[in-house]
Structure 1
Amino acid sequence: MCMAVPSRVVAIEGLTATVEAFGQERQTSLLLLGDEVAVGDYVILGAGGTFAAEVVPEDAAREALAYLAQVLADGQA
């Protein structure tokens, strides 16, 4: 099963973004999104994190991250 975790864009250099989720940073391509993305936006990654596939509204991203954090915390209890 694949779960899409919203990741916040923390830096952009050309068509490559550094994104962060749950304290982990990774590099991802913005080739599929182009100029639609800015630092501070939230994106969903596809193709194993290789590409940003979709920009997600901040409120929806924060809600999903809060839910996932709760699920992870409950699973560790």
Structure 2
Amino acid sequence: MCLALPVKVIEVGCGPDGEHAMVDLGGVKKEISLALLDDVQVGDYVILHVGYALSKLDPEEAERTLALFSEMSESDLTAP
């Protein structure tokens, strides 16, 4: 099973080649590759899969998806 997640870009131009970005996923910061995308800016949401940004995502859709992940995580904590 493959999982791609929405993440928020907090810094661009990272890495030795400048083709990386720093993203935030629920407080976890990770450097990812932007080699497959053009024109990614700070504040954009991208779909992350195995270290690569695959596509940009509408901010409202990203927030809804992240809220659903958060709800699932919370329900796991309260499950018997």
TM-score by length of 1: 0.89
Letter in 2 for 1:57: D
- For the pair shown, the structure with the greater C-alpha radius of gyration is 2
Aligned pairs, number: 74
Q: Which runs of 5+ in 2 are unaligned?
A: none
Work out whether 1:17 is the aligned partner of 2:18.
Answer: no
1:10-44 Cα distance to aligned partner (Å, 9 max, x none): 00012110001111010001010022x11000011
TM-score by length of 2: 0.86
Show structure 1 runs of 4+ deviating over 6 A.
none
SS at match of 2:5: coil
Structure with the larger helix share: 1
CA-based RMSD of the aligned residues comes to 1.0
**Alignment equivalent of 1:43, drawn from 42, 46, 65:** 46
Letter in 2 for 1:39: V
Q: Which runs of 5+ in 1 are unaligned?
A: none
Partners of 2:3 and 2:42 in 1: CA distance: 23
2:72 is aligned to: 71
Letter in 2 for 1:70: E
Structure 1 vs Structure 2: percent identity of aligned residues? 35
1:26 is aligned to: 30
